[in-house]
Amino acid sequence: MPLNKATGNMYEWITHTWNPIRGVCPHGCSYCYMKKIYKRFRLPPRPNIVSEKYGYTFGKNKIIFVGSAFDCWAKNVPDEWIRSILSFVKGNMHNVSFLFQSKNPERFIDWLGYIPYNAYLCTTLESNREYPAIYQNAPPIIERVKAMHGIKNRPKMITIEPILDFGEEFIQLLKMCQPTQINIGANTGCNHLPEPPSEKIAALVGELRGFTRVHLKKNLARLYREAG
């Protein structure tokens, strides 16, 4: 399967996406647009790591989001699939860098010895609050935080997207993760998610800039725009 050029509501700094596992992501987040697409075709998860037809390598000068449409680190993804993905990455990792993003970052820890240093390790924290109807099968927020806290000496990111209403403790949890960068985005379009008001987001952004780099995604503009 070839790389795809990053489009739509992707991080603006990502150049390509690579989805080495296809099918319905087991986390089943209520807001996931991929869920609707894959459910329509009823595709069970399957690895799709190397295509003999394309026989490609990653090439050069790319920042590749691995698993943008399926969480490759979900609990029930077989070890062999992860081993194959990391083995392919290892053989093709020169002059490119990676983003590995998961709502189950605890699994990063098991594979740290195999994950290259030119990979950002990222988790999503939509809020400090648990919203089981929205997160569905994804691990609770506090488990994601503990795992990120436990990962040392690696470039780490947190993505707050879609941002959901949060409490004061959110900042402490984000600090605990010791992220190199925090990305903030909103769900695209109208939805029934519990979203924070603009002034609350402004205060959060101010606090976060006190200890890390903050990237505001374009889709956050529906909820919050910076002056100037």
| Contact predicate 88/117, CB 8 Å | no
Please identify which residue in 22, 35, 62, 129 interacts with ligand SF4, judged by CB under 6 A.
Answer: 35
Residue with tokens 């960068």: 181
State the nearest-atom distance from the C-beta of 132 to ligand SF4, in Å.
Answer: 14
Q: Residue 125 has which token pair?
A: 């924290």
Does residue 29 touch ligand SF4 according to CB under 6 A?
Answer: yes
Should residue 27 be labelled a site residue for ligand SF4 when binding is judged by CB under 6 A? yes
Q: Which stretch binds ligand SF4 (CB under 6 A): 41-49, 66-74, 142-150, 183-191?
A: 66-74
Told to check if 6 binds ligand SF4 by CB under 6 A, we report: no
Q: Under a CB-based contact definition with an 8 Å cutoff, are residues 135 and 123 in contact? A: no
Asked if 25 touches ligand SF4 (CB under 6 A), the answer is yes
Which residue matches tokens 């992707």?
A: 10
156 is an interface residue for ligand SF4 by CB under 6 A: no
108 binds ligand SF4 (CB under 6 A): no
How long is the chain?
A: 228
The identity of residue 103, as a single letter, is K
Q: Which of 1, 14, 34, 63 lies at the binding interface for ligand SF4 (CB under 6 A)?
A: 34
**Whole-number Å distance between alpha carbons of 206 and 192:** 26
